[in-house]
Structure 1
Amino acid sequence: MTTDDLFGAASAAEREGRPASAGGAPLAARMRPRSLDEVRGQQAVLRPGSPLRRLIEGSGGAAGPLSAIIWGPPGTGKTTLAHLVATAADRRFVELSAVTAGVKDVRAVMESAMRERDLYGRQTVLFLDEIHRFTKAQQDALLPGVENRTVILVAATTENPSFSVIAPLLSRSVLVTLKPLSDKEIRQVVESALSDERGFAGAHTLDADAMDHLVRTSGGDARRALTSLEAGAGVALDAQPAGRSDDSPVPVTLAHVEQAIAHAAVRYDRTGDQHYDVASALIKSMRGSDVDAALHYLARMLEAGEDPRFIARRVVIAASEDIGMADPTALQTAVAAMHAVAQIGMPEARIILAQAVVHNALAPKSNAAYNGINAAVADVRAGRGGAVPPHLRGSGYAGAERLGHGSGYVYSHDEPDAVARQQYLPDDLQGQTAYYAPTDRGFEERLRARMDWLDERLGKAPRQDG
């Protein structure tokens, strides 16, 4: 198998900067790194002496090369690294997808690998994409070949292998965790595609704002960035006047890229000031009860590629900080949304987040719980709050009774309405502290009436308005 067979050779049309035809290789496939020097990102797992680098370089040690399970999000180089493993030391490469392959296919690869080893002395690399889709029985079929090193297994997955790969297979493999590419690395990938002979070979230029948009919307996915670039170049060519004879590079603008990937440019930087500004605007819009503004900022964050789990956490915090007991169900909705987002992922997670944001925005507001805990923390930090009253102290251990712990405690359930009038706060706070002051909004209006009644039963002074 030659390098061109493996990575795809650029056609004449592609070398001239035109998008690949239906029968040609896509830009992302043509630009797949052919050596370690061309790989962007993943420095941690490709450092000299690392298991993956040794596997790629063909130096597996005296016992032979290990298998590897590569875990990471899309477009971070899982397939690329598998190809690099295959090209080292003249290895034979076989690729299966867990979506379509079964135990029969796996066994056929094992038998073929043994023949290659026995007859020609060649190792076989089995690249298994989406291994998390294999059942336990299907993964079990891989074990003999991996354990005996009949094959070098390179398995790729986007899901946590601790939950999706059987323990015996994990223990016989090196786990390699890939990270999304940084904005700088995505930019380097795009720039290389514009100049490299396998890419556009200088036939296109990319405007600065178009580059920023490609980087921003890629989400650390190199394949997505290259696919968007290729689509934008196609739009740019279509926009050129008929019969154009100028040989100068065709510019790709922000409008071309937007039209190609059907996304408006979002003025948002996930690592800069806009990240905090838009997140702040979302929270303040929910607090201000403007549901339309809240949904707008939610959409901006999602379209910019913000992690939906980050958004969900902010919504949970707002449900307690700004709504609290005025609508206790807001926190229930927000927490449920946070767990659902972690399980569902995008794009459907946008619907779940929208429901939680709408609930927060429309709910009655109270920061009484927020103010209450802040006031209590301030007293503790100031050194206020003495010893726990003796009757409240733990009495479930030997010697507690002799110390007087628990003596005189009144069990609330033995009292009328299950309210026992006794001292609960430390001496220095007794009779002068009221941290929680419910408002007259939403459910807290009902809580306020109950607290007034409770305070009277407990002998406390009336509370200030919230």
Structure 2
Amino acid sequence: MTDLFSAQSAQAAPLAERMRPRTISEYLGQTHLLGEGRLLRRLIETDRLTSLIFWGPPGSGKTTLARIIANATESHFIFFSAIMSGIKEIREVVKEAQDTLRYHGRRTILFVDEIHRFNKSQQDAFLPYVEQGTFTIIGATTENPSFEVIAPLLSRCKVLVLQPLTAEEVVSILSRALEDTERGLGELGLAADPDALAFIAEQAGGDARVALNTLETASRLAREGTITLDLAREAVQKKPLLYDKGGEEHYNVISAFIKSLRGSDPDAALYWLARMLEAGEDPIFILRRMVIFASEDVGNADPRGLQMAVTALQGFQLVGLPEGRIILAQAVTYLATAPKSNASYLGIDEALAEVRKSGGLPVPMHIRNAPTRLMKELDYGKGYRYPHDYGGYVPQSYLPEQLSGRKFYDPAGHGYEKSIRERMAWLKGEKPEKE
């Protein structure tokens, strides 16, 4: 009766859980870690496993890989969720690991799912037991462990990066599930059009769990025994985007957006803009970054860039979404195609560096203000030449004497800054530089 109940329970589990690989030979993907002679495969085969952090996107096989390692090394496996557990539960698993080693001579692999969700004190609680060898810890995270895992624990673990599965690998996983009569959908006798499987794989974005869940939904819709492309589209509905507004992907995507603007690629800039909007990013955050970009990277090569970015921010605040996406797109394409110069940005940073280095150098006497008789008697303002008395410009020094002749702003030789460069050369009685 127990066996029958267990079998029924297993079949009631989602397809993604039933099809979870049990051995390295069943595991698809991550060949850079598990291929012949690769690091993780050697550690498993020689039974020299150390504590590990698996860093990779959802559905890339982190939990499955940990279970396979436990089976291959004949270790006691404890699944530990950072969402459901705290210090009390940590003490319980420590005792379980100690008892397993003491009474059964078996090592324990403690798999900590979403380890980045543990706070500092909770992560600290693992340290003495990792050092003592009470258990081998395998942490799984979708976030950059450099930011999310405390340095002492990170230094005791080897970080292994898992990649999203390729579309071909996902199609193989789907095909295997369709054929498997023990754990998969094989008993249903379903067929699937190749383009349907390819579509499901593409929409899954490298996530095997999402792909298998979609296949299971499509199998329930397939009344005529074939999963067609239309059925696959119906099963997929809306593809969720990998985008955590508080996590690394947020910074990856905004970085790609800014670099596309800087690289004068309007198509890529629009794509990353669409990615952020579709994932629910705050448009005001995007627009603020564009205002910064307009000064930092476009600068005086096209002074209208800053006007465009500020106007776009104001315009968006007036209309909001969905129409605001058009305002965003106009500003993005303008900034992407504008000539670029970071001369102003470099100039202020060089000036700040000089101030921090040389301190409060005295203001030259001729450009000091002289509002009182005493100040005039002390020669404040003496010798100052009023430019408007000389047709708008007259040569004279405005920097402290120690910095005479120092240059902070070097206009680029293109865009509007080309005109600025030529004007500055003309004012100094120099010939404009030829390109």
Distance in 2, Cα, partners of 1:219 & 1:361: 29
> Aligned with 2:33: secondary structure?
coil
**1:253 equivalent in alignment to 2:228:** yes
Q: Which residue of 2 aligns with 1:210?
A: 196
Q: TM-score scaled by structure 1?
A: 0.58
**1:28 equivalent in alignment to 2:29:** no
Structure 1, residues 201-239: CA drift from partner, whole Å, max 9, x if none?
1622222322221121111111111111111112224xx
Root-mean-square deviation (CA), in Å?
A: 5.2
Structure 1 unaligned runs (5+)? 15-19, 241-249, 265-278, 288-293, 305-310, 335-350, 374-410, 423-432, 439-443
- The within-5 A match list for 1:314-393 is 324-328=302-306, 358-361=327-330, 365=334, 370=339
Structure 1, residues 336-373: CA drift from partner, whole Å, max 9, x if none?
xxxxxxxxxxxxxxx99996873341589589962899
Which letter does structure 1 place at the counterpart of 2:24? L
Distance in 2, Cα, partners of 1:97 & 1:117: 22
Distance in 2, Cα, partners of 1:152 & 1:332: 54
Structure 2 unaligned runs (5+)? 240-259, 280-285, 313-319, 343-365, 369-383, 397-410
Q: Is the 8 A contact 1:326 1:365 kept in 2?
A: no
Cα gap change, 1:131 to 1:457, in 2 (>3 Å):
same
Shift of 1:95: 0.9
Q: Is the 8 A contact 2:18 2:184 kept in 1?
A: yes
Structure having the larger proportion of residues in helix: 2
Structure 1, residues 136-193: CA drift from partner, whole Å, max 9, x if none?
1111111121111111111101111111111221222221111111121112111111
Structure 1, residues 396-422: CA drift from partner, whole Å, max 9, x if none?
xxxxxxxxxxxxxxx999775696659
Cα gap change, 1:195 to 1:366, in 2 (>3 Å):
closer
Cα gap change, 1:434 to 1:134, in 2 (>3 Å):
closer
Q: Is the 8 A contact 2:412 2:421 kept in 1?
A: no
Q: Which residue of 2 aligns with 1:115?
A: 99
Q: Which residue of 2 aligns with 1:200?
A: 185
Which letter does structure 1 place at the counterpart of 2:304? A
**1:166 equivalent in alignment to 2:150:** yes
Distance in 1, Cα, partners of 2:114 & 2:341: 50
- The within-5 A match list for 1:133-282 is 133-197=117-181, 198-201=183-186, 203-237=189-223, 240=224, 250-263=225-238
Structure 1, residues 250-284: CA drift from partner, whole Å, max 9, x if none?
111122122222139xxxxxxxxxxxxxx99x966
Distance in 1, Cα, partners of 2:336 & 2:413: 12
Structure 1, residues 11-44: CA drift from partner, whole Å, max 9, x if none?
59x9xxxxx6xxx111111111111011111111
Cα gap change, 1:357 to 1:435, in 2 (>3 Å):
farther
Q: Which residue of 2 aligns with 1:93?
A: 77
Which letter does structure 2 place at the counterpart of 1:26? P
> Aligned with 1:234: secondary structure?
helix
Q: TM-score scaled by structure 2?
A: 0.62
Seq. identity, %:
38
> Aligned with 2:34: secondary structure?
coil
